[in-house]
Structure 1
Amino acid sequence: MFTTVLVANRGEIACRIIATLRKLGIRSVAVYTDADRDALHVQRADRAVRVGSYLSIEDVVTAAQDADAVHPGYGFLSENADLARACEAAGIVFVGPGVKALEVMGDKIRAKEHVSAAGVPVIPGSSTADAEAADRVGYPLLVKPSAGGGGKGMTVVERPQDLADALAGARRVAAAAFGDDTLLLERLVRAPRHIEVQLLADEHGNVIHLGERECSLQRRHQKVIEEAPSPLLDEPTRARIGAAACEVARSVGYVGAGTVEFLVSDEAPTEFFFMEMNTRLQVEHPVTELVTGLDLVEWQLRVAAGEPLTVTQADVVLTGHAIEARVYAEDPARDFLPSAGTVLVLDEPTGDGIRVDSALRAGLVIGSAYDPMLAKVVAWAPDRTTAVARLDAALARTTILGVRTNVGFLRQVLADPDVRAGRLDTDLLARLIPTLNFLSPDDRHLVAAALSRHEVREGAWGSDGWRLGEPRPIRYEDVSVLGDTVSVRDGDPVPARLVRRGPDAVDLELDGVVHPLRLVSDGSVTWVGDQGSAVELRFRTRVERLADELSVLTRGTRPVDPQVRSPMPGTVVSVEVATGDSVVAGQTLLTIEAMKMEHRVVAPSDGIVTLTVRPTDQVALDHVVATISGHPDEGTPA
């Protein structure tokens, strides 16, 4: 076994790998960029080395000079054959499959051609991404980067006229995320289920599967909630799909942990189509570990060190049910835009059957440079119903204040009757999201709690937030909350009682209902957490409120406020117009990329555009990126 292993990754997966290294008595070496200097994985490793980029093979190999092996985790260089070659040339073991498997299966085009030749059913598609190929494949179709995974760059195209923009956007994302902008096209299969099979293989010819995972709950092709086993498959189909996955692995001499992904029709659950093979550890590997009792990272290390598998296919027994939710730094109320901030308060759940893989700590700065996933909350139980209930309860005990997250959204997904019943498909979340209602800063109990932390004159609580004796009524003032106005002004006093449970915890009784809340103030901003959800309330002066009211005055259909602001912190990756151009409402002005995702910024009204940014510029949340002025012949506004 190795004595020192370098972990060529960051975040929760780096922490996860380091935990197994510590269990095995192996010394860990972390790498970090300037943005991650204070990250948790850096603190937990035995040693840390600064690199210029997590994508730099030269930096990673140089940092690993004193290590026996490099574990790439997932993402970044985990499926990069050049890294495997560089490690071999430096006399360092790459914890992953051989170069052949990486080259064949790491390229989706070659992988499809390879398994198709072997008789495995595949989805109709084309390795050429252009208009002619799209016409042959047929619409609707899916544009996919050939390298990498995680749904990054995948785009649905319904009509031929949308193809050019989709290809351009997918190429930019693929180049930024994987260093390779090669694309492929696939026929879009309506209402499919995403089923993947976990594999283990060694250098001695042993290949086994560890059952399947259901990954159908996705938003824009990015997995959100995963579980094992799938509620869809029966035992005969489970055996067939597992055997097919093992055959795919054998065809390329696969060694290590890997996953073969299939599309399975909900209407015909005994049929499956090969999509791709992920030649690495998967984000959702904890659910497989919980139902099999195996440590996949440990087996990756043992196999990479040349040890044979001591687990046979007959030894693999799936016990109970496990389900995982991915916690992201994103704002569901703003179309899931990536968010940034500083973690001010952190509660992570514990208890029977609960596991949390996390890179969070209080005081951590969440930036926009990397993927927005912060943690994974996982629950195990003897049956699926109990596992779902345990996961929901665990998310209710999860508090992250200081940065917007999707925890409240995850709880609403788990409450959906179709999700509870296991009636899943990859389009379910797209249908569900428009029906959801997120925690609002207009909710009276949140405003009351936030007011308790501020000096508000008309009968509100004192600035310390606490009083002895009988409760005094709180009178709501006209409080502006992040651009929205709380509609409680000049009303009767509302009785409220606050009971302190800790420095950042209160029980608020309002209208006879008790709300256990977490809250923390940072200057004029107060974060309030309620059963997993959190909102940010900002108290504004009378001058600021007056400016807000003036900004929403309209003249015809064009807002008087001409400023176009960035919806998230990030980098300007493309500009579609020039200063002085005439634009119409809804026209794309520019594209901003953050956390490996792109967002189009559009004109709010007709007019003449003046740009204030250029490609490669860094922008903050609400940064003014353009202004829209009236046409010269419109005259002067009243």
Structure 2
Amino acid sequence: MDSTPPPSAAPIERFGTVLVANRGEIARRVIRTLRRLGIRSVAVYSDADAGEPHVREADVAVRIGPPPARESYLDIDAVLTAARATGADAIHPGYGFLSENAAFARACREAGVVFIGPGERAIEIMGDKIRARDHVAASGVPIVPGFGAEGMSDAEVADRAAEVGYPLIVKPSAGGGGKGMEVVRDAADLPAALATARRVAAAAFGDDTLLIERFVAEPRHIEVQVFADAAGAVVHLGERECTLQRRHQKVIEEAPSPIVEPALRARLGEAACAAAASVDYVGAGTVEFLVSGENPEEFFFLEMNTRLQVEHPVTESVTGLDLVEQQVRVAQGHPLGLTQDDVRLTGWSIEARVYAESPERGFLPATGTVLDWRPAPAARTDSAIETGSVVGVDYDPLVAKVIATAPDRATAVARLDAALADTVLLGVETNIAYLRTVLADERVIRGDLDTGLLDRLPPTRPAAPAPAVLAAARDVLRPAAGELWEARDGWRAGGVRRPVAALFDTPAGVAEVSADEAAAADAVTVRDAHGTVWVHAGGATVPVAPLSRRDATLRRRAAADPAHVAPALTAPLPGTVVALHVADGDRVRAGDKVLTIEAMKMEHALSAPRDGVARLRVPIGASVARGERVADVETPADDPSDPQAQEASHAH
């Protein structure tokens, strides 16, 4: 269940009402602390989130706009209007959205509402990578050799790059999250990397200014949590290891780091506090460092995040502090109430980010309705969802964070794996199986990490479901009492209904389960609106769809011989059908466009896999799920009168 660390100080009474300008798990997490402190909470929501948990859990909820973030959660006027209407004394921005927006912090101040975060100057300086690195360097914080390329031609960049030395990393100055980053191994690759990085930076951040730095081989990503009050006191709360990243996005984080000894922790903390003090920082912040894997004593400033981090729970677990409570205290003008000597790290904590995505399909985002949600009872879970929640395409696909804590690292890792195995989330694909694979990697178990480790792992392949899992799905599909007269499963009045053999389409291919296979004893099952049965058993979740004998034979042929192409066209992503390029019954040739689906703000055209007759299963405007069958291309071989088709379609 969702949980919050125990109180670390007496309740605070100055703020009467705090508006939480965010959504999902961070909004819920902030609201829990506000409730414990006796502070009235206000949630804001877009139309897409009207039924979500954070809206119900707040004392008051205010609609601020339609689903697009720029028209709701990023709309400064809408947020401040909600704050005024509800009498909010302060606004907690969470992370993402407006949390590092200096204009928002300024607007709050001008509106007489306290922004629970640092001042505008700190946000502005640390929000620009070039300005930030130059600023902290003046305070003695070590930085990676490099330079800002603002206003420079490609030729001038190439000359400076040669002075710094290859390999280099090119990244947008104004952005984060790994967007636009390009690693350049030699001078010949530099022009293309500059063009790509500028294009992505302009599109993502509206600013194509670039920063070029020396690329540190086999680096570790270590960040330090800092806290500062308005009187100038600054302390650090130890480090977090955030090295396990996929394409520059953090996946698993832990505190402390397995390579940081007390002496290095003191040096990292001193540098982090100096960076914070250089901008008169107030509140919670994180200073990120690149630590050399070859020489851990060598570290460089990366950037400072002027907000609470996604991974803050691991620091809470090893320090015993509620960081949101500390943010509220400092924002009210209270002193920190602790010195550096008061900070003690006890035990080990590790967090995994659960995303709605499909690792087997290149980590494409997944959507759908959460049909059953049961967080692991033996771990802290901060979640954005509950049973009935709708996971859409409008926001980040992070749906939960699972945090395990133990006296030592090995036990913490084992507890996190067990908690992930016990986490039930049916109806939406997730990366939970992938997270367990990462935790089982020998290098992860040893703590031998670098930021490229996950990107070097082989592609994720779906595992074939065990017969007991398929049997659980088979049992869900047994005819209900009103359907038994039409069933062909051996049932008779006054007799015993026998289970029947069943065929399923699974992520690993076609699978069959016998009539007498027993279902897994621990299976949790649910059937969705499209007929897919979701099964959680043995620590894994698998969606399986029933197949006819004929469809199963066609799929097996296609898998064994490319000449036998499967007739079905399925949606690669959840989305909307925006175009039908043929009419039902039209003849098509292999490669002809049949229909187009818009998903994740991109159009995906589906083409005929073979010559034949198009049979459309969806109209224009239909919302489709990933994997949903949207059309078929039939050939004479699919006709039941064909001898091969007759053989394939025998009834079971």
Match of 2:69?
none
* Matches of 1:358 and 1:185, distance apart in 2: 37
Structure 2 distance, partners of 1:80, 1:263, is 25
Q: Could you say which residue in structure 1 is the equivalent of 2:275? A: 248
Unaligned runs of 5+ in 1: 499-505, 508-515, 573-584, 607-616, 629-638
Partner in structure 2 of residue 401 of structure 1:
426
Counterparts of 1:268 and 1:343, CA distance in 2: 46
- How far apart in 2 are the matches of 1:308 and 1:106? 26
Counterpart in 2 of 1:501?
Answer: none
1:552 offset after TM fit, Å?
7.4
* Alignment partner of 1:81 out of 102, 106, 113: 102
Contact 2:474 2:502 in 1 (8 A): no
* Matches of 1:627 and 1:621, distance apart in 2: 16
Query: How many angstroms does 1:125 deviate by?
Result: 3.6
Alignment match, 2:26:
13
Describe the shift of the 1:475–1:96 C-alpha distance in structure 2 as closer, same or farther (beyond 3 A). Answer: same
Larger displacement relative to structure 2 (133-142 or 119-128): 133-142
Check whether the contact 2:462–2:508 (CA below 8 A) recurs between aligned residues: no
Q: Which residue of 2 aligns with 1:582?
A: none
Instruction: State the match for 1:578 in structure 2.
Output: none
1:112 maps to which of 97, 117, 133: 133
Where do 1:74-153 residues align within 5 Å? 74-128=95-149, 131-132=154-155, 135=158, 136-137=160-161, 140-153=167-180
SS in structure 2 of the partner of residue 496 of structure 1: coil
The alignment status of 1:174 with 2:204, answered yes or no, reads yes
**Alignment partner for residue 572 of structure 2, among 558, 567, 575?**
567
Aligned with 1:174: secondary structure?
A: helix
Q: 1:46: which partner in 2?
A: 59
Larger CA deviation: 520-529 vs 1-10 = 520-529
Moved more, 56-65 or 535-544: 535-544
Q: Aligned to 1:534, which of 533, 541, 544?
A: 541
CA distance in 2 between counterparts of 1:601 and 1:153 reads 26
Q: CA deviation at 1:173?
A: 6.0
Tell me if structure 1 keeps the 8 A contact 2:51–2:389. Answer: yes
Quote the RMSD (CA, aligned, Å).
Answer: 4.1
Q: Which residue of 2 aligns with 1:306?
A: 333
Change (3 A) 1:618 1:478: closer
Work out whether residues 471 and 518 of structure 2, in 8 Å CA contact, stay in contact via their aligned partners in 1: no
Q: Which segment drifts farther, 75-84 or 447-456?
A: 447-456
Q: Secondary structure at the match of 1:64?
A: helix
2:473 maps to which of 440, 446, 450: 450
Range moving further from structure 2, 16-25 or 52-61: 52-61
Give deviations 1:509-537, integer Å, cap 9, x for gaps: xxxxxxx2211112521001124421111
Matched AA of 1:446:
V
In structure 1, which of residues 337, 353, 365 is the aligned counterpart of residue 364 of structure 2?
A: 337
In the TM superposition, residue 62 of structure 1 has moved relative to its aligned partner by: 1.1
1:261 to 283, 288, 304: 288
Q: Pick from 406, 416, 429: which aligns with 2:454? A: 429
- CA deviations 1:296-333 (Å, max 9, x no partner) are 11111111111111100000010111111111101111
Cα distance, 1:592 vs. partner? Answer: 7.8
The corresponding residue for 2:463 is 439
2:523 corresponds in structure 1 to 517
Aligned 8 A contact 2:366 2:573 in 1: yes
The CA deviation at 1:571 is 9.4
Amino acid of the residue matched to residue 28 of structure 1?
Answer: S
Paired residue for 1:274? 301
Counterparts in 2 of 1:285 and 1:533: CA distance versus 1, 3 Å: same
Against the structure 1 CA distance between its residues 593 and 248, is the aligned structure 2 distance closer, same or farther, given a 3 Å change threshold? farther
Q: Distance in 2 between matches of 1:363 and 1:383?
A: 37
Equivalent of 1:355, from 362, 368, 380?
Answer: 380
> Contact 1:5–1:68 at 8 Å: present in 2 too?
yes
Distance 1:323 1:455 in 2: 42
Distance 1:605 1:267, change over 3 A: farther
- Higher mean C-alpha deviation, range 230-239 or range 474-483: 474-483
Q: TM-score, normalised by structure 1?
A: 0.80
* Match of residue 200 from structure 1: 227
Q: Once the two structures are superposed, what CA deviation does each residue of 1:473-521 show, in whole Å capped at 9, x if it has no partner? A: 86644433469322x48xxx564234xxxxxxx50xxxxxxxx221111
Matched to 1:411, the amino acid is: R
1:562-600 CA-to-partner distances (Å, cap 9, x unmatched) read 97x76323699xxxxxxxxxxxx9xxxx99874x9x999
| Equivalent of 1:191 in 218, 223, 226 | 218
Q: How far 1:451 sits from its partner (Å)?
A: 1.2
> 1:438, CA displacement in angstroms?
3.7
Following the alignment from structure 2 to structure 1, what is the Cα–Cα distance between the partners of residues 608 and 345?
53
Q: Indicate if the aligned counterparts of 1:471 and 1:496 stay in contact, CA closer than 8 A.
A: no
Cα pair distance change 1:258/1:425, threshold 3 Å? same
Give runs of aligned pairs for residues 578-589 of structure 1, distance below 5 A. Answer: none
Larger mean Cα displacement after TM superposition, 410-419 or 230-239? 410-419
* Alpha-carbon separation, structure 2, partners of 1:238 and 1:547: 60
Task: Name the CA distance, whole Å, in 2 between partners of 1:371 and 1:58.
Answer: 22
**Distance in 1 of aligned mates of 2:576 and 2:191:** 27
What is the one-letter code of the residue matched to 2:370? V
Deviation readout 1:75-106 (Å, 9 max, x if unpaired): 01100000011001101111100011000001
SS in structure 2 of the partner of residue 452 of structure 1: helix
Bigger radius of gyration: 2
2: distance between equivalents of 1:601 and 1:262? 43
| Distance of aligned partners of 1:19 and 1:536 in 2 relative to their CA distance in 1, 3 Å threshold | same
Greater mean alpha carbon deviation, residues 109-118 or residues 189-198: 109-118
Which residue identity is paired with 2:541? A
**1:480 equivalenced with 2:505 (yes/no):** yes
Residue 372 (str. 1) matches residue 397 (str. 2): yes
Q: Is the 8 A contact 1:125 1:185 kept in 2?
A: yes
CA distance in 1 between counterparts of 2:418 and 2:315 reads 21
Partner amino acid, structure 1, of 2:547 = R
Check the 8 A contact 2:148/2:210 in 1, yes or no.
yes
Which AA in structure 1 matches 2:204? A
Q: In structure 1, what is the equivalent of residue 614 of structure 2?
A: none
Task: Verify the 8 A CA contact 2:567 2:609 in the aligned structure 1.
Answer: no
